[in-house]
């Protein structure tokens, strides 16, 4: 008889958030910059995304088609919503804050950071304890 995989053990080991160390795309080395992200399974992430989806649904009622720019902005907003904080980064000597407008600006100005955020959050293994 084979031994069963205890799924309840996996549920108990999940984290609501986890920190991503940003990698310098030129060198491949870790940077001091960390982005803390909500797990895609966390209640807080789901609450934030549901709010975004409600806003999008209201906009869709007014118009039938969504433009490519609106679709891209929608993706960006999901990752802004998933971001808890940014640490260890500055722009022109000023520390980067964690307010949604600041996070959005970082992701728009430095798309390679957003790429790393998207990849990290999509890997659920990043939200399990060791």
Q: Using the 8-state DSSP alphabet, how is residue 40 labeled?
A: T
Integer Cα distance of 124 and 119 in angstroms: 10
Predicted pLDDT of residue 71: 80
Higher pLDDT, 16 or 14: 16
Query: Would you say residue 1 has pLDDT above 80?
Result: no
Phi, psi of 91 (to 5 degrees): -125, 120
Percentage of the chain beyond pLDDT 90 is 67
Query: Would you say residue 95 has pLDDT above 60?
Result: yes
Predicted pLDDT of residue 77: 94
- Among positive and negative, which fits the CA dihedral 89, 107, 26, 28? positive
pLDDT tens digits, one per residue of 45-88: 999 999 988 888 887 777 767 788 888 888 999 999 999 999 99
**If you average pLDDT over residues 93-121, what whole number do you get?**
97
Predicted pLDDT of residue 66: 76
Query: Would you say residue 44 has pLDDT above 80?
Result: yes
For the purposes of burial, counting CB atoms within 10 Å of the CB of 122, is it exposed (0-12), middle (13-18) or buried (19 or more)? exposed
């Amino acid at each position: 008889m084979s031994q069963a995989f205890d799924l309840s053990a996996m549920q108990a080991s999940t984290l609501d958030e986890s920190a991503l160390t940003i990698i310098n795309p030129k060198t491949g080395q870790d940077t001091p910059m960390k982005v803390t992200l909500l797990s895609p399974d966390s209640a807080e992430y789901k609450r934030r995304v549901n709010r975004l989806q409600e806003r999008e649904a209201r906009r869709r009622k007014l118009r039938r088609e969504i433009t490519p720019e609106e679709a891209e902005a929608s993706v960006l907003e999901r990752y802004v919503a998933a971001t808890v904080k940014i640490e260890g980064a500055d722009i022109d000597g000023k520390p980067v804050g964690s307010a949604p407008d600041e996070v959005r600006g970082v992701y728009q100005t430095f798309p390679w950071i957003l790429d790393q955020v998207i990849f990290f959050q999509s890997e659920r293994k990043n939200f399990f304890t060791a």
